[in-house]
Amino acid sequence: MEIVLLEPLGVSQKSLEIMKTDFEKNAHTLRYYTTRTENENELAERTGNADIAILSNIKVSEKYFSKCKNLKFLQVAFTGFDHVDLEYCKKNNISVSNAAGYATTAVAEITLSLALSLLRNTNKMENNLKTLNDRNGFLGDELAGKTLGIIGTGSIGMAVAKLFLAFGCRVLAYSRTQKNFVSIEYTSLETLLEQSDIISLHVPYTPETHHLINEETLNKCKKSALLINTARGLVVDSKALAKALNENKLAGAGIDIYEKEPPLPENHPLLSAKNTILLPHIAYATKQSMEKRLEIVYDSINLWIDGKQINKVV
């Protein structure tokens, strides 16, 4: 099999060379690129006649796939896959797998970090210090005793629940599939929104979750509530969220993911919203998660070649 890695995956060249050597031992070839492009024509040129292509969160549509006549398997080195034209893949017998699980710890930890930073307003307090001021009477809020509402209890949602439970939180959950975990209270979305002090999103992007958080759902939240999104950008209506924040209908938001990958346009509504911590999509990005991702990708490709597809999307 001819395999191509279309972009760098945040790992060392040594790790890539080890993977390349391992594939070659089994009579496969691996080409890899150390630069990133989002141009579908360039991606198709890089793919060439490869049987298997690897990419992370670069959008690929029919324009790309139609030029890759020999492509049989797309390995998405990412958890989300809404950037891939799955309908084309289904119609043209192109298998697709993701790399679910590689960033569970990383995303859970940054979710906790965002909650703590919002509660203690660390951004503003740092700015106070750097402008030669003190806390100006500011009092923060403790996490212990708060009610966390998790929307989506997959592997990341469950990891988040366990971290917040360790900090003494009550945990509510709303999810399509419920887990048998004694310390979590499953409830309706409306009840979760009404009772939660912190709302954390951990659902995939689908037509059903498009703008799940919108003006109507935000109006159900406590005015003292915090919203954290480390899931997918389009799960939240950014204009509605910015409006709620600026009108003091929500106390704050920690956002790591947007409708498009950063850099954001200068008129993006959240850039001027009050009481936010905005990150440039870094929740998944740790040294440990990148190495784990490479391991998952390597195993997934080998298993697909052996007819045992894992993390199957298509």
Give Cβ neighbours of residue 182 (< 8 Å, ≥ 6 apart).
Answer: none
| Residues designated as active site | 232, 261, 281
What is the distance between the alpha carbons of residues 235 and 207, in angstroms, rounded to a whole number?
Answer: 9
Q: Count the neighbouring beta carbons within 10 Å of the beta carbon of residue 234.
A: 18
* Residue type, position 46, single letter: R
DSSP 251: S
Kindly list the distances between the CA atom of residue 33 and the CA atoms of 5, 6, 284, in Å, as whole numbers in the listed order: 6, 6, 21
Q: Is 192 helix (H, G, I), strand (E, B) or coil?
A: helix
What is the distance between the alpha carbons of residues 213 and 249, in angstroms, rounded to a whole number?
Answer: 14
Kindly list the distances between the CA atom of residue 202 and the CA atoms of 49, 150, 267, in Å, as whole numbers in the listed order: 37, 7, 26
Our CA dihedral for 84, 89, 91, 92, rounded to 10 degrees, sits at: 140
What is the distance between the alpha carbons of residues 229 and 303, in angstroms, rounded to a whole number?
Answer: 33
Give Cβ neighbours of residue 308 (< 8 Å, ≥ 6 apart).
Answer: none
Strands (E), 139-213: 147-151, 170-174, 184-186, 198-201
Asked if 163 and 137 touch (Cβ cutoff 8 Å), the reply is no
